[in-house]
Structure 1
Amino acid sequence: MTGARPRNRKELLAAAAAGLFARDGFHNVGVGDVAAAGGVTASALYRHFQNKQDVLGHVLLTGVDELADRLRAAVSGLADDPGRRLDPLLLAAAEVSVERRELTALWRWQGRHMREADQKDLRTRVGSLLTDWLAGLRALRPGLDPGQTQLLCFATLSVFGSVGDHRATPGAGFAELLARLARAVVGVDLPTARPSSDQWRTRVAPPPSRREELLTAATRLFREHGFHAVSVDDIGAATGIAGPSVYRHFAGKSELLLAASRRMADRLTLGLEDALATATDPADALGRLARSYVDTVLRSDDLIAVYTTELANLPERDGRELRAMQRGYVAEWVRLLRSVSPGLDEAEARVVVHAALTIVNDIPRTARFADRPGLAAELTALTGAVLDAGATQP
């Protein structure tokens, strides 16, 4: 019948919302936008969802269920026969990540806007898969201690999750490349922990200025709650002052976000320039750049999280400038990697570089790893393994 209501209207709306959330960010999409994209009125949307958060929760929970169903067969029994089952599992995970790339991006960058109950439900739904994956990895590499096993498990997940951070599409071999990088992570030899190598953690800094206190507090709050969920009053309260007093130091939230983003960009640029200036050849430069990135991220804590997630909330001109700096920084990694391995095309090299960077971005922000002794050396080893695997032609 012409004009009949589709039976799957709820799923059509969810799909439309997923695309909008991934493209524009959760806070930049309204209920009316979702309704219009799904071809209904806002009042019709409320027949299926209570609010925008309800839509996001539905999208991610149903998506995770679909991904889990596809991977369950591959991960099942991994602990009993990891030697035979590992590579098929990695390839299956890579294929799912590539095919549902928009869901991967949504999960990584917008998942924090779900209701707390939905976030808990999400963790529960993926818990059994992670348990099986950890058991299989322990069986494959029994010499690792539990912390090392978990580190490799989560680093592998970061390789797959990295496809949500870029748009490079190498073509038919995309999943195979991703699986090869993950395989390298699984097999990496982690260095012995040397706490003294992380001396920057114990340095005693001079008391910060009020401006610095505000910048630090704002950056932490932006990371934890998202730019839109944080008010000037929140930032003032975090430093023990009234919200209006913040304006003595910054014009507003956007200026705080801009200051944090520029600081991170400056730190990365300095590391890049030093690596290029002191290296003897492209391979040496790439190694120096990897070590510099690890060190910079570990010293920057909340800055890197904000720099990689909140640029869309800057004024257009500033956001455009900083995104160009981000692209230029990654382009230098890609150039060096292709110099080391001329057989890699641009898209393949970008996939490799983003996989390496994502591991370094993700692991320190995972609470269970943040205080690991020798984390810098471990992240450097993981980054090197990914770059080496990417540079090696199959």
Structure 2
Amino acid sequence: MAARRPPNRKALIRVAAAELFLERGYHNVSVADVAEALGITASALYYHYRNKQELLLWAVRDCLDSVDALVREAADLEEALRSLAAFVTRPRSVFAIWEREARNLDGSERDAIREREFEVVAHLVPLLRTARPDLGGPEAELVARAVFGVLGSRSRHRLSLSRRRDQQLMFRMARAAAHCELSAADRPAGNGPAASGSGLRIPRREQLLTAAVRLFDERGYQSVTMADIGEAAGIVASGVYRHFPSKTDLLVTAVNRGGERIRASADQALARARDPREALELLLGAHAAVTSEHRHLDGILTNERDQLPEKERTALRRFQADYQDVWVQALGAVLPGREPTELKISIHAVHAMIYFVVRSRTADQWPDLPRRLTELGMAVLVGSSSP
């Protein structure tokens, strides 16, 4: 007798696809891979979805809808945070898929997902303002986005405690972000920060590198061509090759540039510290400042590592491991006795929070954003430390 097709096969396909997209990256997954994960044929999958792009769109929508439902059904902030913490610590959670993989959708679909993301974050704001009447609208939106950044970190790494401890830690960190006391804001003079510049002509090589970094981050490395980069920099594709022999050379140069800036800012911060807590706070402030100023560089360091040649990929992994070790030492000095895995999960949460906030379309309204991210980050790292 032939096996009956499960009534929820369409949903199962989306779940399997989301897991693979988040684990390997959209461009490294084929329709055949998704079908194989489910034990079905590619033709059976095509019965439900026309192509991989449509599959990604629905996978991202599913995740956003699930998160939104948890927020909108919660009676108060506490219930929402507990529900979200349970959601992100489920086995095979794909909470972060909308933030990382939506850039692989085409323009109109990507814009629609960003609007949906904005709605989901906005739905947490009333719960925040009820629990915290001290927060104004812009501050509540900033804090809401920080909360989602913390929670989204959980599906970006494979570190884990027991399921119960994982859930408790994610709840404590999200709650600490939600209840962070923000200092008085520096309000922008107009609609955003004033433009600055020396008026000097930027070298063509730097123009190309800047354009490439932005495009790699916004669309994904594999979706960008040398012609795209040339067009963004205002030159023909052949002109790009006079400065960079290949697209890979652009990516390697950008990654090296990002690593150098992060390393230099961390070294300078730690050199100024007078005690362990100040060292942690200065390190956090330096990371927030670099990420705010170079958000696209941080994006490719976060998402494009697997596109590097093996030698450079190994070097980047080593640099990132060394950088995390600096953070573990800094946080461990403030919270002695805390096990390394918990420290690393907390550090991932703060880095993801910073990354998520600076990429918001409203981030530029805060001229003091690095300071606010430092306050939120310290609350998450230290304020959530109660066992």
TM score, norm. by length of structure 1:
0.89
Structure 2 residue 152 is matched with structure 1 residue 182: no
Flag the 1:117–1:195 CA change in 2: closer, same or farther, 3 A: closer
8 Å Cα contact 2:230-2:239 kept in structure 1: yes
Structure 2 residue 236 is matched with structure 1 residue 245: no
| Aligned counterparts of 1:19 and 1:298: Cα–Cα separation in 2 | 29
Q: After TM superposition, list the pairs within 5 Å mapping 1:152-301 onto structure 2.
A: 152-171=143-162, 172-194=164-186, 202=196, 204=198, 206-301=200-295
| Aligned counterparts of 2:273 and 2:358: Cα–Cα separation in 1 | 27
Alignment partner, residue 316 of structure 1? 310
| Aligned counterparts of 1:124 and 1:276: Cα–Cα separation in 2 | 39
**Matched residue type, 2:280:** L
SS of the counterpart of 1:104? coil
Pick which of 265-274 and 214-223 moved more: 265-274
Residue 116 of structure 1 and its aligned partner are, at CA, apart by 5.2
**Matched residue type, 2:16:** A
Alignment partner, residue 93 of structure 2? 102
Residue 393 of structure 1 and its aligned partner are, at CA, apart by 2.5
SS of the counterpart of 2:382? helix
Structure 2 residue 35 is matched with structure 1 residue 44: no
| Aligned counterparts of 1:184 and 1:305: Cα–Cα separation in 2 | 25
Structure 2 residue 55 is matched with structure 1 residue 55: yes
Flag the 1:143–1:71 CA change in 2: closer, same or farther, 3 A: closer
| Aligned counterparts of 1:69 and 1:187: Cα–Cα separation in 2 | 22
SS of the counterpart of 2:48? coil
Alignment partner, residue 349 of structure 2? 355
**Matched residue type, 1:27:** H
SS of the counterpart of 1:192? coil
Residue 125 of structure 1 and its aligned partner are, at CA, apart by 6.0
Q: After TM superposition, list the pairs within 5 Å mapping 1:26-37 onto structure 2.
A: 26-37=26-37
CA displacement, residues 291-325 of structure 1 (integer Å, 9 cap, x when unaligned)? 11112112213111121111111112211211221
| Aligned counterparts of 1:5 and 1:248: Cα–Cα separation in 2 | 56
8 Å Cα contact 1:254-1:314 kept in structure 2: yes
SS of the counterpart of 1:143? coil
8 Å Cα contact 2:125-2:141 kept in structure 1: yes
**Matched residue type, 1:393:** S
| Aligned counterparts of 1:333 and 1:213: Cα–Cα separation in 2 | 33
**Matched residue type, 1:16:** A
| Identical columns (%) | 35
| Aligned counterparts of 2:354 and 2:199: Cα–Cα separation in 1 | 24
8 Å Cα contact 1:363-1:370 kept in structure 2: no
Residue 71 of structure 1 and its aligned partner are, at CA, apart by 4.3
**Matched residue type, 1:102:** S
Alignment partner, residue 80 of structure 2? 89
Flag the 1:369–1:324 CA change in 2: closer, same or farther, 3 A: same
Alignment partner, residue 82 of structure 1? none
Root mean square deviation, CA, Å:
2.6
Alignment partner, residue 81 of structure 1? none
| Aligned counterparts of 2:108 and 2:27: Cα–Cα separation in 1 | 19
Flag the 1:183–1:6 CA change in 2: closer, same or farther, 3 A: closer
| Aligned counterparts of 1:105 and 1:184: Cα–Cα separation in 2 | 20
| Aligned counterparts of 1:31 and 1:91: Cα–Cα separation in 2 | 35
Flag the 1:127–1:285 CA change in 2: closer, same or farther, 3 A: closer
SS of the counterpart of 1:194? coil
| Aligned counterparts of 1:64 and 1:179: Cα–Cα separation in 2 | 19
| Aligned counterparts of 2:315 and 2:5: Cα–Cα separation in 1 | 45
CA displacement, residues 173-216 of structure 1 (integer Å, 9 cap, x when unaligned)? 112111112222222222223379x9997453742211101000
SS of the counterpart of 2:60? helix
| Aligned counterparts of 1:159 and 1:152: Cα–Cα separation in 2 | 11
CA displacement, residues 340-381 of structure 1 (integer Å, 9 cap, x when unaligned)? 112321121112111211222121211112232222221121
CA displacement, residues 224-280 of structure 1 (integer Å, 9 cap, x when unaligned)? 211111110011111121102111111211111111111111111112222333323
Q: How many residues align?
A: 383
| Aligned counterparts of 1:256 and 1:266: Cα–Cα separation in 2 | 15
SS of the counterpart of 2:49? coil
8 Å Cα contact 2:67-2:120 kept in structure 1: no
Flag the 1:217–1:122 CA change in 2: closer, same or farther, 3 A: closer
Alignment partner, residue 386 of structure 2? 393
**Matched residue type, 2:161:** P
Flag the 1:63–1:364 CA change in 2: closer, same or farther, 3 A: closer
| Aligned counterparts of 2:81 and 2:293: Cα–Cα separation in 1 | 32
**Matched residue type, 1:166:** H
**Please, which runs of 5 or more residues in structure 1 have no aligned partner?**
79-85
Alignment partner, residue 64 of structure 2? 64
Structure 2 residue 128 is matched with structure 1 residue 134: no
SS of the counterpart of 2:89? helix
TM score, norm. by length of structure 2:
0.90
| Aligned counterparts of 2:356 and 2:117: Cα–Cα separation in 1 | 18
| Aligned counterparts of 1:12 and 1:139: Cα–Cα separation in 2 | 37
**Please, which runs of 5 or more residues in structure 2 have no aligned partner?**
none
Flag the 1:136–1:66 CA change in 2: closer, same or farther, 3 A: closer
